[in-house]
Amino acid sequence: MAKNINSVSFTILFVVLLMASTEILKSDAACFAFLGECGSVPFTGSNADCKACCEAKFGNPPVCAGRVELEGGVPHCHCYGSS
């Protein structure tokens, strides 16, 4: 029984350390809600340009990330936030 508890504790510790080392626990992990698109299609800017566009359109703090992503091979600026 004690052997099983030790292996479970080790596994949990390993997962927590893995999450911390890969920065999953940082604030971008809270960026899960799709707020909408921003800018022209096709979007020709970088991720930084996309985030600036999103912040101008939706405001900052709701926006925590702007990503240029392909939809059907065409780049779009997608805005993500925590609400």
Within this chain, do residues 22 and 56 fall inside the same structural domain, yes or no? no
Domain count, the chain: 2
Domain containing residue 76: 31-83
Calculate Rg over the CA atoms of the chain: 19
Q: Are 44 and 80 in the same domain?
A: yes
pLDDT digits (tens, 9 = 90+) for 9-43: 556 656 555 555 554 554 555 677 888 899 888 99
Phi-psi region of 35 (alpha: psi -120 to 50; beta: other; left: phi over 0): alpha
User: In terms of domains, do 35 and 70 share one?
Assistant: yes
Q: 63 and 38, same structural domain?
A: yes
The more confidently predicted of residues 20 and 56 is 56
Question: Are 59 and 76 members of one domain?
Answer: yes
Confidence tier at 69 by pLDDT (50, 70, 90): very high
